[in-house]
Amino acid sequence: MNTKRIIVGSVVSAVMLLGCLGIAFAANEEELEVSFSPEVVANYIHAVIAADRALYTTHVVDRLQEERVVIAAEAWKQRKALPLPAQMLLMAGKTVEMSGSDLRFRLASLWPIYEENGPSNVFEETGLEVVAEDPDEVYSGIITRGDKRFFKAIYADRAVSKACVNCHNGHILSSKHDFKLGDVMGGIIISFPLPIEKTETP
């Protein structure tokens, strides 16, 4: 696998990353400019919005109104409850994937409750380590799969409330039970394909 650490030249944040029509980065000391057509960026953003909207309607509002649900719990389908934030994000990522979009996003951790939420390759493992060390850093790079190139970015996911810490520390399947408020608990991993490089015609 060809992984390169690169520095994102423009200020990016979570999904807002996709709003940047042109992303300049430096790789191997050579500056390369990648730009997306506005249609592609709009399609990515639309895929996320549509997934969130559909899931919020079916799994939150419908359950609030029809089942008078007031709690969120992991076994929300079996119990009279709503899905957890992590479950909403993971479901949205899967809904976007199923919609046929090339955009991918998920929540992962070096200390996952479920193995499938662990790093799936060296790039992800290194990225999760880097953002755990410095949550302000965005670990990003270009990975190659077959003849396709993907831009991949990892953002820190922090314990912003006591609920994060208590639930994970107390979860029987959690591999870490000493999270503290403010700790990095994992990361949000986003990736999407880059346009095929144009070859110079003489």
- Enumerate binding residues for ligand HEC (CB under 6 A): 74, 84-87, 90, 107-109, 112-114, 117, 157-161, 163-164, 167-168, 185-186
Closest approach, Cβ 86 to ligand HEC, in A, equals: 3
**Whether the Cβ atoms of residue 122 and residue 3 lie closer than 8 Å to each other:** yes
DSSP conformation letters of 125-142: HHHHHHHHH-TT--EEEE
Closest approach, Cβ 156 to ligand HEC, in A, equals: 9
User: Could you tell me the strand order of the sheet in which 139-145 lies?
Assistant: 30-35, 22-27, 3-8, 139-145, 148-158, 184-193, 104-108
- Other CB atoms within 10 Å distance of the CB of residue 151: 20
Interacting residues of 109 by C-beta distance below 8 A, sequence separation 6+: 117, 118, 128, 157, 185, 186, 187
Closest approach, Cβ 102 to ligand HEC, in A, equals: 22
| 141: β partners | 5, 152
143 vs 165, beta carbon nearer ligand HEC: 165
9 vs 111, beta carbon nearer ligand HEC: 111
| Strand runs labelled E in 29-147 | 30-35, 104-108, 139-145
67 vs 116, beta carbon nearer ligand HEC: 116
46 vs 94, beta carbon nearer ligand HEC: 94
114 vs 144, beta carbon nearer ligand HEC: 114
Closest approach, Cβ 107 to ligand HEC, in A, equals: 4
Closest approach, Cβ 173 to ligand HEC, in A, equals: 8
